[in-house]
Structure 1
Amino acid sequence: MAYSLEYVPIIVPVLAMHISSHFSVVNTKGLELLKINASKPDSKGGLIPRMPKSKKPNVVLEELAGIP
């Protein structure tokens, strides 16, 4: 599902939050606007999962990392 968000035009930020509010997914434009990138550390109380063998965010944000 997360990668299907990339089909939205690149100028449109998208954030979809799970009903539990524990997880959200964000497209590339959304990550850019939230200033979440490879150099950003995990936020206090949140987790930014990374791509395998990389520090690039994998579009999933956990807990407080997903609350702008």
Structure 2
Amino acid sequence: MVIKRGHVEQSELERFRAAGYTEDQVYEVNIGISEKTISNLTSISLDLPLDEAFKPFAWEPEEARIAA
């Protein structure tokens, strides 16, 4: 969903449903993605510190990795 920016193939949705998920859960996936996106954008724009538990997984721009 994220990689294709919502442009999923009908066959992908059919596989999702065949795995036992419902149409409602397609919407729930979208809601989860939306909540995470809003949270990330808010944290970045307000320059909020990353929780200690997540620091090992912190994202760095490519330029910072190259310079290191």
Give TM-score, length-normalised by structure 2: 0.25
Q: Which has the higher contact order (CA 8 A, sep 6+)?
A: 1
Richer in helix (by share): 2
Query: Higher strand proportion, which one?
Result: 1
- Which structure is larger by alpha-carbon Rg, 1 or 2? 2
